[in-house]
Every structure is written in C-alpha cells, then in structure tokens.
Structure 1
Amino acid sequence: MTDVPARHVLVIGAQCRARGELLRLKQAAEDLHVVLTDPAIGGCQVRTGDHPSLLVGRELKPEHVVDAVREAARRAKEDSAVLVVALLGHGFTAPQQTDLYYMVHESTMDSTMSAVAVGPLLAEVADEAGVDGVIALIDTCHAAGATPDIARLAGGVRSGRARLAVLTASTAVEKARDMRLSTTLVKILREGLSRTGGAMYVDRTLTEALRGRISGQTIGRAEYDNDPFALEGLWLARNPRCASNAGHEVVGPLGRQQLQQAVEIWRAQQYLPERLTLPALEELHDFLRTGTANDETSLEWRGRATDVVVVLKECMQSADLLGQMMPGVLTSDLLRAAGRLAGFPAQAGGTVPLRDLLEHAALGAQHFDGAPWRGLARFLAAVVRQAGLADKDTSRLVEWAQQRQVLAEFNDALAEFKADQQRREVRLVVSLASAWTGWPEEVEAWLLRGGNAVPTQQRFPCDSADRIGAGKAISAALVWAHSQLPTPEVLENVDVAAPAHLLAQWQPEEAKIGRRYLLGTHHAVVARWSGRLDPAEDNAEINQAARRALSASASCGIASVEWVNLPVLSDRTRLEHALTTGRYGTAVGVDHHPDDLCDVLELLLPYAPIVLWPRADARPTNGQLEELIAQRWHQLPDGFAAAYRDRWNARANAALCLGDIRAVWHDEAWLEFCRPFENRYVAALKEET
C-alpha cells in the first residue's frame, strides 16, 4: 500500500437539548479523532483554526455542520485526497421515512429543517470532483438512514465515478446507545485485525469484528465504488497487526530494555517480539494478569514485568492526551526543551521525542521512594510550562494527576518551573569590557528584570586597576542591584562579561565581595565574552551565527562539542580556516590547558557560542574531559555554580570533576541581551534609564 499525499478527516459531536446530553459523546469524539489522525493508523491530517478537524459542542447549528463538511471536502479536493467524516450524537427519521436527520442543539423531532439531512450531504461531497473518496462513520440512532440514494451518485456530476463507504451504528429503525460504535471502533483500529492485510476497510471483516463486540444494536455498512481510476482501495486505517506497518514502534529503547529484562528473569529464555505493537503489549498484559506459565522461574518478576507494561501503556495514553490537548503546538523542539527543563539528559529525547521522553520520565527519572507517576507528572508539567498554557487549558492534565494521586507533585513542578523562570529573568550583567590590556578602571552594570522592562544601567569606578579593585566595583554593583529590586524579588544570577585576557587568568565567581564572601558563594555566575558587547560592525553577524548554531543543537537534542587537541592548536592557520568555514559550530572544547590560553580564546570566541577548557591545575587523561561533559551536558551551564562551590571544599588531588572545567557560555538569553549592541544604539539604552 502506498501513502497518499494527504488524508482529511472531520469528526463532529453535537449535543441536542431536546434529546438530552450524551455523557460519553465528547470523549468518544476525541478518541476517534486521535486514532484517525495517528500517522501510524488513520493517517489523516489534524486541522485547527476556523475549520478544525474536530468539532464538538453544545451550540452547533445545522449550518455549522453543513459548512464544516463542505469545507473538509474542499480541503480534500485540493489534495485529491480521501475524506473521512464521522457524525456522533442524536439522529431521527421522519414518520414513514428512513432518511436520517442529524440533530444539533436546537433540533426537534417534529422539524426536519432543524436538523441535517445526512444522506444528501454525503452524496454531495462524494460526488465532488477531485475528492478521492468518502468514508462516513455514523454513530447515531437510526444510523443506516444515512446511506444516500445510490441514484444520486450514479447520475451525479462525476457520471457515477465516485466512491463512498458508510459504517453505521444501527439500522434505520433501531436506537444506538453509549457511543458503542465509536468506542469499539477506536479499540479495533488501535489493536488491528488478524484476518486482513496491511489496511482495514469498511468491509465484512471489520463489520463482523464490530458485531462480535457490540450487542443490542446492529452494525451495518454500505459501499459504493465505481471509480476505475482510483490508485488504491478506500482504506479506513492501517492495520497495526501487519508487520509492514510497524515501522513506528509503540515502545522505545528504554521501555524495551526494561521490559526485556523483566520478562527474561520472569521466564527463562523468553524474548520479546522484534516489534512491540500495541496488540502485542495488550496480549502480554492480559497474560501477566491471568495466565499461568510452566517455566515461570521468578514469581516476583511477573509483578515487575506487569509494572513495566502498565507504565508503557500509561506513556501511550499520556502521548494521546498531549496530542489531543495541543495538536498544533506539540513539536520535537518543544518536547526536547521540556525534557531539559525537567532535568533530563539530552539523549532522553531519542529518535521519537514524545515516546522516548515519556518513557524516560516514567522509567528512567522515576524515584523508587516516590509516587508511582511522579516522574511523568514532572515532565507533563514541563511540557505545560514550555508550551505556555494557561491554567484553563490544563484541566485535563489536572484530572490526569488527580486520578493518579500525583496532583501535589504536578503542581509542585509547575510552581518550581515558574519560580525558576522568574529567578532567571532577574539578572545582573557586569561588564569589564573597558579593560583592553590589564584590569578596567570602571565596570558597567545592567539589571535585567524580564518581560518588557528596560534594563537599568550604572557605572562603578574601580579603586585600583587590578583584581581587588574590580572585585570592589562588582560588590558595589551588587549592592546597587539589590537596592533596585522590590520584595520579594531576589538576585541569584550574575553574568560577568570580560575580555579574553581576563577570562584566561581569572575565575569571576572567586571575586571577593565585601569582607566575607566570594561572588559565587550565593550567586550563580556565568562567564561571558565582552567582545559581543563591542558595537563592532561584524557583531550582528557572529551573534546571528551563534543563534543558528544553538538552535540546531537544541533540535538534535544531543551534546555537540567539537574537541580540539594540541596538534590542532599547533596549526593555527588551518584551525582558523576551519573556523571561518563553519567547521566548528555550537561548542568547542580544548582538551588541555594551553600555555597561550589567551590567544586561543581570542581565536575561538568569535566563532563558537560556547568554549570549554580545563583549569591549569587539572590534568584530564584518556578522554575524561569529554566523557564528563557528555554526562553532565544537560545540567549546563547552571551546574557549574554548584560544581565550583564543591571544588572549593574538595581535597587536593581529587578526581577530575565538573568544577575543574572553565567555560565561556553564550546562550539565547545572552544573545538577546547583546542585540542592542549589534544595532549600535547602546547610548539610547542608557538614556532610557
């Protein structure tokens, strides 16, 4: 089966005031929409905006339904695509007639004008030239009455060359109950069918499967296919049980690893299938709960295997929930950013970020002494924070957390992320840019408070042009900054921008502040290169290159450090050529402490937004530095502050640690601060203060 360029869908769930509210309607419509828009199953496109692919409401009018169906048909016509239409809710037939009328908010059974005549509408869109076929799913009472008069298609504008398949929840004289067709169809589409090939159709096989699970109403179907030019059959969904459709596994590497371990210990020499499909996982879950095994070697590991399966199913349900809540917002970049916010390592994003990050949250980041779903709650809170959702848009996640008894953990994580963002927005930038050769005679400081607030700026003279004088000036800047902040705002983050010659010899966090403390004792200090604050002609270019490099690194989700060794540094001409041609991108690490560190930094800093190197008294060997950075990358640069404090108290000759690594770090927030300097209106920024 070949993939079509596009498939379109429209799922409508309408409540009717006269007939009473259908309690399961909203959930049934949403679940059906999710499975039909799943790329691995229904393959239909999600639409948002003025003409969404999911339309559920209490206030729908007949014209809303008709317009939505016609608009969906126009979209399908533009793409020469199949259109799947699902109508869920109440329906009625007029006395002595079998034509179905779909009921909306103000519909009554004594007025056909107050409802939607389904059969003629389906015939109209199926007869639209360019639409590759229509599949209609009708989950109402008297549903079989939705089947249009075949004569309308046979004698239509397409001269009969149309395709239409209708799946109905009941006969024209029967009632349908509890959205049974929709809910059962969702389960079957997710599980797949064993007696068919790579696709499922509205045919006898699907109808019999539905009839075998639904009682009290007669599931029916009607098919019309008179298009000899169709490239493939009018399929409803891909069949998950077919191996050819299993390229997108429902279980990621971490989930497979932990499940494989549990199964092998539970039953010796037992291995998982090559591909873990949802039906395979369901079958394993059922057997673990009810089955017996002669080769059961460890009863306690049956429980462990069961727990892992339950976690994996929960991850799939969470993925569905996020997909329903934010179909137009969820992206790989957003998910990886949420993973970083939650404190996950970069590799947790894997190849399928949503699946792999959820599994890491539930299996890799879960504390054994905490609530069972604590890690998952933290990641979902990070997604909410990263997406910028308002409280009113998180009700379904709050409900999820309540049901799993992790509401406090979910709310705690939201509060933590919000407070952390507020702390990050309050920053003091101290610049020693005026030190061209030695130490500066004054330092310049800006207080940033986030949002649209204009940074306040002040200059502080140095009592002496040396390390002590610079420390006193920074101390004065801190006192000034604290005086500008209203309660309860606190200042924790300090950026120190200095020329390369100072960065090569000075650790800003060790600057003496007052008589008692070092700058880094109570502040998170990040070293920056003051060259990006110089209103030079090429700063806009180098900063834009840095933004592109950081964006590319965030998208790939892994540490991207290019390491240079002594032989590379020995050939400066060749290294500079590599830098100018883009050979080195996001981060450059020097694997040793060069004697001419100042010259090395002068060479690297205009090109790489992040530069790393070991302290002079650190002696990394055998790739220790590279391994340490790879392990701790997801904690940087924030992790440096605590690492430097730990190093102050470490014993001499201790093993290489993060505190032994120096860094000049230019992230997106710093590059945004630098933007006014690119445009040469530094003076204007000062005047606004």
Structure 2
Amino acid sequence: MRDEERRHVLVVAAQCRSMRTLSRLEEAARELHGVLTDSARGGCVPRTGEHCSLIVSASLTTEDVRAAMHEAVRRARADNAVLVVALLGHGFTPPQQADLHFMVAESTTGSTMSALNVGQLLTEAVDEPGVKGVIALIDTCHAAAAMPDPGRIAGGVRAGRTGLSVVAAAAADQAARGMRLSFALIDVLRDGIAGAGATISADARLTEELRSRAVGQDIGRFAYDNARFDAADLWLAHNIRSVPEAPGGVVGPVGRQDLDEAVALWRADTRLPAHLSLAVLRSLEAAVRQGDEGEVADPRWGDRVGDVVASLLRCAATVELLNTVLADVLSSDFLREARQLAGLPAGSEAEAHDLLRGLVEYAALRAVGADEPGWRASTRFVAALAHLSGSDRVVARLREWARDLGAVTGFNDALAEFAEKSRQVDLRLVVSLAGALTDWPEEVDAWLVGTGEPLPVHRRFACDSPGRPGTGRAIGTALAWARGRLPAPENLVNVDIAAPAHLLARWQPEESQVGLRLLGVNHDVVVRWSGRMDPARESAEMNVAARKALRSMASCATVPVEWIGAAALHDRQTLEQGLLTGRYDTVVGLDHHPDSLQDVLEQLLPYAPIILWPRQDALPDDGGLAGLVHKHWHSLPYGLPAAYRRRWSREHDGCVACLGDVRAIWHDEAWLEFCRPFEQRVVAGPEEEW
C-alpha cells in the first residue's frame, strides 16, 4: 500500500475492576483488529511494539489510553491518513449529562476524572491538522453519548473542515451486552454487503446490516462531514461482495474530464484523487451542498460541480443496474447497436475503456441539447437497450429506472419510436435497374420486403420510354403497386434503389420525379449496387466477405473509413494490390469527385461494402467531408435522405459543406440478406420470377 493510501487503527479493549468482567472482550478486540488490518478488508496498518495498534488489558490507566490515542493521531497526521478508533469495554454517562466516559482499570461511575471523555478524545483527534478523517467504533453501554458536539468541531483549529463517522453500540440510556456490535461488525466486514459498492462506510446501509445482527440494542451512527471531499473518503472496509470497479473507480474518462474541469474552476488548489469511489463523490456533493468553499473557491462554479457529481452518481447507479438487468445480453456489439439506435456518436472517448460506463456518461454529460431536458439522451439510450433486449422483463425493470428519474413518458416515447423505426426499416420497396447493361433500363424489378410473407413479393414494370424520365415513372408505378398491397394505416417509407455502376456514377435516384414530387421528398432512399444481386459465381464470394467485414466494423470503436485521394487512384497497381489483400474491405471514402467515377466504382464495388464520395458540384472542403462523415456516422445511411431534403431547401443557401453533399452506395447486412437467394439462383429467361 502506498504511503498516501495508508490507514491507521487503534483498538482499545479495557476491563474495569468496579464493573463486571466482560468475558468476550479480548476475543472481540482481537478479531475486530484482525479484520480492520486485513489488507482485503479494513486495509489499516497494524503496529506492534511500544505503541501497538491493539491494546487489551485489565490494568489500563487513562494516561495509557491518552498516550496510545496521541500516538495513533500522530501517525495518521504524518501520513495524511484516516484513523479508525475502536473503544470496547464499559462506559457511563454522569447524571444530568449526555457525555460518554470510557472506563479503564480504576474507573468508577462516581468520578469522571477516573475515565476518559470520549467526545473530547474524538474532537481532538478529528481536529488535528493532517488527519484525513476519523471513524470511531464505540462498543460500550450508553455508546450514543459518545457523539461529539459539532459546535466544538466547527470551532476548532481546522474550522470544522474535517470528517468524523461514529458507530455506537447502544442508545444513550441503554446497556450494551455481549460485545454484540463488535461481533456483528466483524461478520459484516468479513462477509461484505451485496450491492453496497466497492467499500463499506459507516452509513445507513451498514447500520441496517448491524441492527439485523445485533438484536436488542439500538445501534446508531453519527456523521460530521465538512471535509475537503478529497480528504473525507471515510470508508471502513473494502466490500468483498461488490462488483470490481475500474482502476479509476466508478467514474469513466468522460465523467473524469468533466469533473476535473468543473473542480478546477471551483477550487483551483484542489486535485481529485485517482480513485473516484462513490464515497468520494458523495463527500464532494456534501461539500458543495454545505457551502464548504474556502478562501480560494469560486462560488459561481459550485453549482456546476454539484450538477456533475449528481450526474455521475446517477450514472454509477445506472451502470450497476444495467450490468445486473442485462447480464445475459451485454456485449460490445449490443452496446454499439444501442448507441447507434439512440443517436449517440461513434468513435468518441466514450468508447476508450469501459464501453457501458462511457456511453452512459456521454449520454448524461455530453449529449444534452441546449433546449432539451437533461435526462433525454440518457433515457433514449436506456430505452434503446431495453428495446434491443427483446425482453418484457427488462423493459419493466428499466421503466422503473425511468420512473425514478421522472422520465417515464420520454422512455415510453423512445420505445415506441424504436419499435416503429425497426418496423419501417424492415418494410421497404426494393427497385432494381439491373437490366440497364449500357444505358437506362427498359424495365425495372420491384420487391416488397418486410410484409411477413415467406418470400418478398415481386413484380416487373416496363419503362414507357428509355431514359431518366421513363425510369422515374416506372419507379412511381412500382410505389403505387407496393402501397396497394399494404393494409391501412401502413406507410411505405424506405426505398432501396439498386443500379449498375454506370448509372450510380451520374444519377441521384432520390431526385427522380415520381408523380408530383421527387422520390426523396416522401421516401428515404438508400442506394445499392445491383452487382451484388448478380447470380454470377463471384457474387456469393464477395457477399460473404462483405458480411465478415460488416461484423468487424460493428466492433470497431472508430469510424472505419479508408480515405483515398487522387494519387492513390492514379497508382492503379498499388490500389489493385490493396484490394486483393483486403485493405479496402470495409468503407472506402473518396476525398474528391474523380473524373472517371464510373471506372473507380466498378473497381471498388466488388470489394468495399460501402463507398462514399462528394457530389460533383460540392465545393472543395479541405478535409471537411471526412469530418462530416465522422460526425454523422452513427446516423448513416438513414441520415442521408434527411440531409438531401435539407439540401433542397433554403437551409442549404450559403452552406460551404454539408452532409447532403455526400453520395453513398451502402450495403448493410439487411441488404446482403436480401441478396442471399440470388447467390444460389440459376440464370433463366426474362420471364422467370422469384
């Protein structure tokens, strides 16, 4: 254990001649000292010799105890450490007073000078500069009377900037028997507390556990917390039943950065500890709430610190809940799918370490819009997890989380949105122009997918004239046919247009006029390459490779785009070698619009499942295209149709670069599944239908 993490302990067990002998006193003291100095539990430093950390005796004097206490405080001060003090034995309170006196060998209830004023001992210890804080365990009769006067602590040399926790075996008017507190505490610290976090503190959870084990005594606690938050982590023992925390505690990189920045603005002289436990966060929250600003604090930033801490405490609780509720389904791919569904960006610092914690913190701290409630992004992310789980039990548990947050409506709205989006993505019209071998097709094929039928329904529609207008009218006819097959109130939104490379190089399908409007006004159009529907022998091979690449991309923390410039395209031999060796098997981005775009597409399409490039009329952007793709990656490809609609509007006026300038040929797993039957299909005459 490093010096800055040292913890000191003093256990004093005293028999008193004027009182009955405590038969289990020595046993309780030795076992309590053992668990407090166990590195896996209490973590305190044991001491032997003249100033040992365990004193058990029937002949102690008040001077002996004061000297032992003085030495323990001195060591804690030297190491800037927490001091744990346990007093076991007899105690009394004088008539008309509520001050506990700890009894030693020659003490009597008729003389306060023959015993030690426990409140005074604790006040002096906790007021000593350099002592990080004091935890007192009082196992005597009338133990609750050990509570020091907060006014004396506040009026001390540290002006109250310290922390004290006291656990008392009995009420101020009550006897304590059989060392029940000590043995209950030993059991709890040895066994741990399920769900109590990484450490056990002298809090309500511990008190509840002790009361359940020490029947017949009113075990109580007292806390004085006006310490600097980085000096008041008064945990009593490591909790061996907790889920192990990350090296940085219960805070990930996103939360750590925001908290560091807020604290630096609040109190420039303060540095957060490396391990941010729940106790540290709660101590900081209390310091802000109590106005423990200090001379160097900027009170204007206190509220910001409080807000960040409150968010991080909620994030820690959310992560613990999700780890429990989603234990059967949690995986990196599952979390990234939820991230995309909820609209959180990919490739951020949220994915650097603990993916779940990073995404929860990002949603709570970074993904909050100026005019949105603070819980909106978090609620959408948790709802996305609930939706993807497919479990009614999980949805019910996470709806309880939303209720506690006051966000049930937002949670239910998000669930409804995701269900509708899932249904709409599944329901789509596929229109293929595969017959256009050299120019525009004479007819188009259409399939209605996602209706629940075993095979997509297929029809073929003739183009009344060759060229762009005739193709547009044929697509319009296919749309009318598809809508006629849907029961009310189903609405067809998604349209996939599959075409050969020579058309994709010069045509924007969403700009085809179908009826009174362009196709992309009322439909989300995704462009595909018809070559992946080709029954040729190579089709199955390239689709299998694409499926593998897409699965690899799903596990990628960064945006998986390989950008290619003009020089790389002109070096055809090197480019061909890269294609053969699998370098360009995920997403290829062209950082410019090549003059020979058709040739480039024909070379790349059999290898890369996704290809991006700028429109021919897009302004030079000096790398801005890559930035746009990186920023909006989580929304693609279904974010492109909305971007194209914005480009047609006045919003685009004066826009140097926007997502609407990006062209894409996109083959996702849904499209590859649609293509699977074609991979096994035997070429037949034109009258053949699926």
Q: Which amino acid aligns with 1:654?
A: C
| Structure 1 partner of 2:277 | 277
For residues 639 and 183 of structure 1, the distance between their equivalents in structure 2, rounded to whole angstroms, comes to: 55
The 8 Å contact of residues 211 and 218 in structure 1, kept in 2 or not, is answered as no
The 8 Å contact of residues 181 and 214 in structure 1, kept in 2 or not, is answered as yes
The 8 Å contact of residues 589 and 612 in structure 1, kept in 2 or not, is answered as yes
For residues 547 and 171 of structure 1, the distance between their equivalents in structure 2, rounded to whole angstroms, comes to: 69
| Structure 1 partner of 2:210 | 214
| Structure 2 partner of 1:665 | 666
- TM-fit CA distance, 1:188: 9.4
- TM-fit CA distance, 1:250: 2.2
Gaps in structure 2 of 5+ consecutive residues: 2-39, 42-176, 216-237
For residues 404 and 183 of structure 1, the distance between their equivalents in structure 2, rounded to whole angstroms, comes to: 34
1:324 is the counterpart of 2:324: yes
For residues 312 and 276 of structure 2, the distance between their equivalents in structure 1, rounded to whole angstroms, comes to: 11
For residues 189 and 285 of structure 1, the distance between their equivalents in structure 2, rounded to whole angstroms, comes to: 18
| Structure 1 partner of 2:69 | none
Q: 1:549–1:259: structure 2 CA closer, same or farther, 3 Å change rule?
A: same
User: What pairs with 1:597-616 in structure 2 (closer than 5 Å)?
Assistant: 597-616=597-616
- TM-fit CA distance, 1:535: 0.6
| Structure 2 partner of 1:350 | 351
User: What pairs with 1:337-416 in structure 2 (closer than 5 Å)?
Assistant: 337-348=337-348, 349-351=350-352, 352-367=354-369, 369-390=371-392, 392-416=393-417
The 8 Å contact of residues 266 and 299 in structure 1, kept in 2 or not, is answered as yes
Q: Name the SS for the 1:559 alignment partner.
A: coil
For residues 200 and 483 of structure 2, the distance between their equivalents in structure 1, rounded to whole angstroms, comes to: 67
- TM-fit CA distance, 1:429: 0.3
- TM-fit CA distance, 1:457: 0.4
Two-structure CA RMSD over aligned residues (Å): 3.5
| Structure 2 partner of 1:566 | 566
| Structure 1 partner of 2:596 | 596
Q: Name the SS for the 1:347 alignment partner.
A: coil
- TM-fit CA distance, 1:491: 0.5
For residues 683 and 415 of structure 1, the distance between their equivalents in structure 2, rounded to whole angstroms, comes to: 44
Q: Which amino acid aligns with 1:611?
A: I
Give identity over the alignment, percent: 49
What is the CA deviation profile of residues 548-568 of structure 1, one whole-angstrom value per residue up to 9, with x for unaligned ones? 111111112321100111111
The 8 Å contact of residues 338 and 386 in structure 1, kept in 2 or not, is answered as yes
- TM-fit CA distance, 1:183: 13
The 8 Å contact of residues 191 and 279 in structure 1, kept in 2 or not, is answered as no
Q: Which amino acid aligns with 2:331?
A: T
Q: Name the SS for the 2:314 alignment partner.
A: helix
Q: 1:683–1:305: structure 2 CA closer, same or farther, 3 Å change rule?
A: farther
The 8 Å contact of residues 193 and 200 in structure 2, kept in 1 or not, is answered as no
Q: 1:454–1:687: structure 2 CA closer, same or farther, 3 Å change rule?
A: farther
| Structure 1 partner of 2:64 | none
For residues 216 and 674 of structure 1, the distance between their equivalents in structure 2, rounded to whole angstroms, comes to: 64
| Structure 2 partner of 1:468 | 469
The 8 Å contact of residues 592 and 619 in structure 1, kept in 2 or not, is answered as no
Q: Name the SS for the 1:286 alignment partner.
A: helix
Q: Name the SS for the 2:582 alignment partner.
A: coil
For residues 475 and 362 of structure 2, the distance between their equivalents in structure 1, rounded to whole angstroms, comes to: 42
| Structure 1 partner of 2:681 | 680
1:237 is the counterpart of 2:240: yes
For residues 483 and 601 of structure 2, the distance between their equivalents in structure 1, rounded to whole angstroms, comes to: 33
Identify the range of structure 1 (315-324 vs 439-448) with the bigger mean alpha-carbon deviation: 315-324
Q: Which amino acid aligns with 2:491?
A: V
Q: Name the SS for the 1:408 alignment partner.
A: helix
User: What pairs with 1:65-104 in structure 2 (closer than 5 Å)?
Assistant: none
| Structure 2 partner of 1:556 | 556
For residues 622 and 567 of structure 2, the distance between their equivalents in structure 1, rounded to whole angstroms, comes to: 16
- TM-fit CA distance, 1:218: 4.4
Q: Which amino acid aligns with 1:373?
A: W
- TM-fit CA distance, 1:612: 0.6
- TM-fit CA distance, 1:670: 0.6
For residues 248 and 383 of structure 1, the distance between their equivalents in structure 2, rounded to whole angstroms, comes to: 25
For residues 304 and 187 of structure 1, the distance between their equivalents in structure 2, rounded to whole angstroms, comes to: 32
The 8 Å contact of residues 192 and 240 in structure 1, kept in 2 or not, is answered as no
User: What pairs with 1:34-433 in structure 2 (closer than 5 Å)?
Assistant: 185-186=192-193, 190-192=197-199, 214-215=210-211, 217-218=213-214, 237=240, 247=247, 249-290=249-290, 292-295=292-295, 297-348=297-348, 349-351=350-352, 352-367=354-369, 369-390=371-392, 392-433=393-434
For residues 413 and 274 of structure 1, the distance between their equivalents in structure 2, rounded to whole angstroms, comes to: 37
The 8 Å contact of residues 614 and 662 in structure 1, kept in 2 or not, is answered as yes
What is the CA deviation profile of residues 483-505 of structure 1, one whole-angstrom value per residue up to 9, with x for unaligned ones? 11111110011000000000001
Q: Which amino acid aligns with 1:431?
A: S
| Structure 2 partner of 1:18 | none
- TM-fit CA distance, 1:370: 4.1
Higher Cα Rg, which structure: 2
| Structure 2 partner of 1:17 | none
Q: Which amino acid aligns with 1:459?
A: R
| Structure 2 partner of 1:649 | 649
| Structure 1 partner of 2:536 | 536
For residues 326 and 612 of structure 1, the distance between their equivalents in structure 2, rounded to whole angstroms, comes to: 36
User: What pairs with 1:465-544 in structure 2 (closer than 5 Å)?
Assistant: 465-514=466-515, 516-544=516-544
For residues 406 and 485 of structure 2, the distance between their equivalents in structure 1, rounded to whole angstroms, comes to: 42
The 8 Å contact of residues 386 and 394 in structure 2, kept in 1 or not, is answered as no
- TM-fit CA distance, 1:679: 1.7
For residues 449 and 267 of structure 1, the distance between their equivalents in structure 2, rounded to whole angstroms, comes to: 58
Q: 1:183–1:419: structure 2 CA closer, same or farther, 3 Å change rule?
A: farther
Q: 1:270–1:480: structure 2 CA closer, same or farther, 3 Å change rule?
A: same
Identify the range of structure 1 (639-648 vs 429-438) with the bigger mean alpha-carbon deviation: 639-648
Identify the range of structure 1 (527-536 vs 360-369) with the bigger mean alpha-carbon deviation: 360-369
For residues 467 and 570 of structure 1, the distance between their equivalents in structure 2, rounded to whole angstroms, comes to: 31
Q: 1:624–1:368: structure 2 CA closer, same or farther, 3 Å change rule?
A: closer
TM-score scaled to structure 2, two decimals?
Answer: 0.65
- TM-fit CA distance, 1:408: 0.5
- TM-fit CA distance, 1:264: 1.6
For residues 182 and 320 of structure 1, the distance between their equivalents in structure 2, rounded to whole angstroms, comes to: 21
For residues 564 and 282 of structure 1, the distance between their equivalents in structure 2, rounded to whole angstroms, comes to: 51
What is the CA deviation profile of residues 605-628 of structure 1, one whole-angstrom value per residue up to 9, with x for unaligned ones? 010010011111123232111111
Q: Name the SS for the 1:557 alignment partner.
A: coil
Q: Which amino acid aligns with 1:192?
A: T
The 8 Å contact of residues 588 and 608 in structure 2, kept in 1 or not, is answered as yes
For residues 636 and 529 of structure 2, the distance between their equivalents in structure 1, rounded to whole angstroms, comes to: 17
- TM-fit CA distance, 1:634: 1.1
What is the CA deviation profile of residues 190-209 of structure 1, one whole-angstrom value per residue up to 9, with x for unaligned ones? 34379xxxxxxxxxxx9xx9
For residues 632 and 453 of structure 1, the distance between their equivalents in structure 2, rounded to whole angstroms, comes to: 35
| Structure 2 partner of 1:66 | none
Identify the range of structure 1 (622-631 vs 599-608) with the bigger mean alpha-carbon deviation: 622-631
Q: Which amino acid aligns with 1:559?
A: V
Number of positions where the alignment pairs a residue of Structure 1 with one of Structure 2: 487
